[in-house]
Amino acid sequence: MPAISLQDAFRAHPVHLQSHTHQDFTTLSELPDSYKWEDHHHHYPSSSLVTDDQTIPVIDLNDPNALQLISYACKTWGIFQILNHDVPLALFNDIEFVCKSLFSLPKEQKLKASRSPDGVSGYGLARISSFFKKLMWYEGFTIAGSSREHFPKLWPQEYIKYCTIVEEYEEEMKKLAGKLMWLILESLGLSNEDLKWANLINGTMKEARAALQMNYYPACPDPDQAMGLAAHTDSTLLTILHQNNISGLQVQREGVGWVTVPPVPGGLIVNVGDLVQILSNDLYTSVLHRATVNRTKDRLSIAYLYGPPSSVEISPISKLVGVARPPLYRPITWVEYLDTKAKLFNETLSTIRLSVVHNV
């Protein structure tokens, strides 16, 4: 049976954004009304007082207690930052160079590599834009497959240089994602035998699916009323994020509000995705997060979206369920999950949640 691609999950739900144009942000000295999110700080206030229990965990993967630290971070935050991840630091400069070069191209050139309404790869607005009346101060470029599909349209004479960097970055992220997935399983007290479909060989999931998402948040004339990327959870097993040295990523902390994830030199951010929440039967939770914008500085981030083989059914792992803790979710493939999220957005997890009757 041929593998199902990520593209298949979106074909049934094309995103038509007739009123959502590709704005040339360099031409705007004032924030247009279509970009004003007046009430987003009122509904989700930012934390003005940062204490130790409101600081995103930073974990050295060489720490002997790394497993326990990962477990704590996944249970209490759904996000953490990592150091000593073995990704060459020079590669971060290289991938930022690709992003800067891409997003600084003339608008007409970028549009030559536009994502189709029913597609995954290419240049465009965030797919979640269709769920909101207001526009986001954002440009994105998604690579699900090979960068050689679109980069020749952007750089006809020198695309190979940029493709090579992306391919090197993706290879490093693939290795790291497999290692992190293994650590997350171990932190739950699990082994490869408990998740046979993962086929984790030497820390790599043999048939994993992934996409690379490059994000650009230009400097904004009125950042307090603008939104970079609206609040959402990731439809992945996990997401590995590199951000440049400009803050903007925020996560929602219950009872606190939005907490900023500051850039850590040489660090990477790891988000728990919806699928790990399902696998762990809610022991670990995916994190609601968003991106804000800056008045004077551009912000870049590169997300590696890591998922399972597309046709494998994801459900709570049997070792983590029992009479006292019955399964909370029905089995679902990643393609079906993406298909449902394209329709229901942040309500998707609740729609596959099972009604649990507790015996007293």
Residue 357: per-residue pLDDT: 53
pTM: 0.92
Distances (CA, A) of 205 to 94, 176, 238, 310: 26, 11, 13, 12
Distance CA 69, CA 63 (A): 9
Distance CA 19, CA 241 (A): 30
Classified as helix, coil or strand, 268 is strand
CB-hemisphere CA count at 13 Å for 282? 12
Residue 34: per-residue pLDDT: 92
The residue written with tokens 């038509």 in the block is 16
Residue 50: per-residue pLDDT: 46
The per-residue b/e assignment along 215-229, b for 16 or more CB within 10 angstroms, e otherwise, is bbbbbbbebebbbbb
Residue 285: per-residue pLDDT: 95
Distance CA 56, CA 52 (A): 9
β-strand partners of 205:
200
Q: Which two tokens stand for residue 275?
A: 């699928």
CB-based contacts of 243, cutoff 8 Å, min separation 6: 249, 261, 263, 269, 299, 300, 301, 302
Neighbours of 354 (CB within 10 A): 11
Which stretches of the chain drop beneath a pLDDT of 50?
Answer: 1-2, 18-19, 42-43, 45, 47-52, 360
Classify the C-alpha dihedral 305-306-312-315 as positive or negative.
negative
Residue 1: per-residue pLDDT: 43
Distance CA 79, CA 330 (A): 24
Beta strands 139-143; 122-124: pairing state: antiparallel
Distance CA 312, CA 308 (A): 7
Residue 48: per-residue pLDDT: 46
The residue written with tokens 């597609």 in the block is 119
Please give the single-letter amino acid code of residue 6: L
Cα angle vertex 328, ends 324, 332, to 5°?
145
Active site residues: 299
Neighbours of 130 (CB within 10 A): 15
